[in-house]
A and B are shown apart, each in its own frame.
Chain A
Amino acid sequence: GESVGLHLPTLSVQEGDNSIINCAYSNSASDYFIWYKQESGKGPQFIIDIRSNMDKRQGQRVTVLLNKTVKHLSLQIAATQPGDSAVYFCAENIHNDYKLSFGAGTTVTVRA
């Protein structure tokens, strides 16, 4: 079965607010956790990754947090914009292989 998954299938956010998207995983052997964004009619696009020996990683307007104790991963988007409306997927990479295992997505809708 799937090793990664998301808590909520949909998230509605007011423009300008911060978004938090959650993901639970079950495989402790994962080396990396990754977030992808898929806009309507397009393929997924890499956002950010975090290695399993880290707790936090920041990018441009995004922060990924990893809590290994409860096997939980989150993506925080600061000052959410209309262009952030998309489906977000978490994924994991095991044993430093090149294959990725994707969880179910969360659809983020930004309200004007």
Chain B
Amino acid sequence: EADIYQTPRYLVIGTGKKITLECSQTMGHDKMYWYQQDPGMELHLIHYSYGVNSTEKGDLSSESTVSRIRTEHFPLTLESARPSHTSQYLCASSGLGPTKQYFGPGTRLTVT
């Protein structure tokens, strides 16, 4: 089992609220990722980081922002949640090698 954690697991929130999704890993991985996934659908990369103070936008445009102040922590923030942000958000990390990513259990976000 990978040591990567996401909180909360489920979040229902009203439109316009600011939210932060937490992601932490204890493996010392320098690379971390955020994906957005609708039920049963493919994963879309929205943010990634290759180390502290390094963040990049992924292939899918997202209104969210991320920060990487500590190696183990990669939070995602939505300044003003909207119903279109309703989705599952998956955090992952990887060490050496380009293929093996370790995923957290995900946060299922519903914006009403």
CA distance A31 to B98 in the complex (A): 9
CA distance A101 to B50 in the complex (A): 17
**Measured between C-beta atoms, what is the minimum distance from B52 to chain A in Å?**
16
Q: How large is the interface on B (under 10, 10 to 19, 20 to 34, 35 or more residues)?
A: 20 to 34
Give A1-54 interface residues, CB cut-off 8 Å to B.
2, 9, 31-32, 34, 41-46, 49
A98–B40 CB distance below 8 A: no
B45–A2 CB distance below 8 A: no
Which stretch from B14-22, B71-79, B103-111 is at the chain A interface?
B103-111
In chain A, what residue has the closest Cβ to B58? A99
B99–A100 CB distance below 8 A: yes
Interface bits A89-112 vs B (CB < 8 Å: 1, else 0): 100010011111111110100000
CA distance A96 to B105 in the complex (A): 26
B42–A100 CB distance below 8 A: no
Given A43-B103, A43-B104, A43-B105, A105 and B42 contact (CB-CB distance below 8 Å): yes
A103–B42 CB distance below 8 A: yes
Q: Does B92 contact A (CB under 8 A)?
A: yes
Q: Does A73 contact B (CB under 8 A)?
A: no
In chain B, what residue has the closest Cβ to A32? B99
In chain B, what residue has the closest Cβ to A45? B103
A89–B42 CB distance below 8 A: yes
CA distance A32 to B90 in the complex (A): 22
Partner of A44, one of B48, B58, B90: B90
With a cutoff of 8 Å between Cβ atoms, the chain A residues found around residue B40 in the complex are 9, 87, 105, 107
With a cutoff of 8 Å between Cβ atoms, the chain B residues found around residue A2 in the complex are 42
With a cutoff of 8 Å between Cβ atoms, the chain A residues found around residue B45 in the complex are 99-101
13 contacts between A and B (CB under 8 A): A32-B98, A41-B105, A42-B103, A42-B105, A42-B106, A43-B90, A43-B104, A98-B31, A98-B50, A99-B59, A100-B101, A102-B42, A105-B42
- Given contact pairs A43-B4, A99-B58, a sample of 10 additional A-B residue pairs in the complex whose CB atoms are under 8 Å apart: A41-B105, A42-B103, A43-B106, A44-B43, A49-B99, A98-B31, A98-B48, A98-B50, A99-B33, A100-B99
